[in-house]
Amino acid sequence: MENQPTKEFEDILSQSKQTEAVQEDIILDEPKGALKKFCIKKTEYKGRGIYALETIQRGTSIWQALPFSAVVDDQNISNTCSSCFVNDKRMFKCSKCSLIHYCSKQCQIDDWQNHQEECKAIVKVQRNPPTFIRLASRILRKRKVDVTLSQMETFAQLAMVVKECVGRDELLPAVDMLTLFCRLTSNGFSVLDAEMQSIGVGIYPNVSLLNHSCWPNCIVVFEGLKMNVRSIRKIEIGEEVTISYTDLFLTGEERRKELHERYFFTCRCELCEKYKSVSEVDPRSALRCTNTSCANPVDQPSTFDKDEEYVVSCNCGKVSTFDMAALDDSLEKARSLFKKGSELSASEPENALTYLHQAFLIQQSLLYFANHELVMTHRALFDCDSKLHKWDEALQHAECLERVYNAVFPEYHPDTALQIYRVAKILLYTNQLEKAVTKLRKALKISEVTCGHRHKLTRVIETSLKNSEAEIAIAVLDKVLDRD
Ligand SMILES: C[S@@+](CC[C@H](N)C(=O)[O-])C[C@H]1O[C@@H](n2cnc3c(N)ncnc32)[C@H](O)[C@@H]1O
């Protein structure tokens, strides 16, 4: 069942008013648009959230929704259709504002109601309003916004731009504008394409009742603008349904910082609690044990006191001693090399490789393989090597990244499927067909669970698998015929 966006947004707001005084867990309602397996409860710490009323098996599409409002982001505005969000077709631009692009005349007609006033505003102000302003403007034009929040932030500058772009009639009183900005910042969803890259931002009012966990039981994928919430593991009766608001590669500290800055809460999820315990080391921020035959992570010091030595023991029994000043200097040097390399990667990939490789050598000698800084360097090296068609090197980094996904991501995650597919593609480029087929099968299994059969990623992997299997069959046949 799909959402009726405008009505739902109103419902949510009126619901939030009715439930403000509730302190204890209570069952409020079934979330609209979802299959009837959930209820909304309110807890003191997280506010409202969605809870399962039935056991949900892994790979279930539990919720599909269309946005109340959505816009393509600035980086993708000329390669993504502002109406249906496809990004693999030829686009043409609106002849009046020259900013908004469409894939077909029909899409332009469908979006006209949303774009008409926006178009006039863009022509009038003679500059391209950024993503966030375009989204706020579209919502304001729908004129259905009500408010209850009291988060005080300085959005005055943004409000001025909105005023220019929207026109006085559509503006809300200052406090309501402020509330709208706060709501957009914490309730907006990044709309992702088939490669899990963000191409826009949308407001999906009821789905934004889903709370965050760094170890979520659901993920969000998109088919165009349609959002699909899918379970990535079994959800028990009474369990809260969660998604991640942040990148699961990030260290606990980085995740908590982002969640605090953007969503104003301190995460106390399973994963965050796990790594508070002294016996558990977070692989995302860990150092390498100095015992070269040991594969365990060891804790990084929380602060670097340069006059001290850092002594840390590993589960293998080895006690590693690090000179804090030297460790800090080396990691800083690697960071600056990484920064230089990343800046050059688009324009001068060959030069970028030199810097990135130096950063990699330093980090590899000190950091655990799943450490976030090392992961970033692998990613950057993979991109440059792929750009330069250095497939053997690219394959090494892609395989390292696959190992990291296996170590730090939930077993079923669309990003893991995508990473395994990347490995498979390079194996195909380098004629390693059998190995590629093994990877494609693995990627397909994960993609079917996390994205569903109809999702573009699943279909692309499936096609590649079928073609590769056919190639192997033909090669076998050729061999047999040759022998005859
Ligand atoms: C998109 S809303 C989710 C629904 C929200 N709980 C409500 O009552 O409307 C995001 C907000 O929910 C709360 N929240 C989400 N996940 C949380 C978590 N793991 N711990 C504490 N608060 C959380 C935070 O206040 C956050 O800004």
Does pLDDT of 227 surpass 90?
yes
Please name the residue whose Cα sits nearest to atom 21 of ligand 1.
46
215 Cβ inside 6 Å of ligand 1: no
**Residue 182 banded pLDDT, cuts 50, 70, 90:** low
Structure tokens at 31: 């979330």
Ligand 1 centroid to Cα of residue 65, in Å, is 19
Structure tokens at 263: 């969503």
Ligand 1 centroid to Cα of residue 51, in Å, is 14
Which amino acid type is present at position 447?
S
pTM, two decimal places: 0.83
Q: What pLDDT is stored for residue 93 in this prediction?
A: 95
Q: Give the position, in ligand 1's atom list, of the atom nearest the Cα of 48.
A: 8
Ligand 1 centroid to Cα of residue 54, in Å, is 23
Please name the residue whose Cα sits nearest to atom 23 of ligand 1.
46
**Residue 7 banded pLDDT, cuts 50, 70, 90:** very low
188 Cβ inside 6 Å of ligand 1: no
Does pLDDT of 103 surpass 90?
yes
- Domain 341-483: CATH superfamily is Tetratricopeptide repeat domain (1.25.40.10)
Ligand 1 centroid to Cα of residue 210, in Å, is 7
186 Cβ inside 6 Å of ligand 1: yes
Per DSSP bridges, beta strands 211-212 and 240-243 are parallel
Range(s) of the chain covered by CATH 1.25.40.10: 341-483
Range(s) of the chain covered by CATH 2.170.270.10: 5-65+204-263
Right CATH number for 5-65+204-263 from 2.60.120.40, 3.90.950.20, 2.170.270.10, 3.40.50.150? 2.170.270.10
269 Cβ inside 6 Å of ligand 1: yes
Which amino acid type is present at position 52?
A
Ligand 1 centroid to Cα of residue 62, in Å, is 20
**Residue 470, C-beta contacts closer than 8 angstroms, at least 6 positions apart:** none
**Residue 336 banded pLDDT, cuts 50, 70, 90:** very high
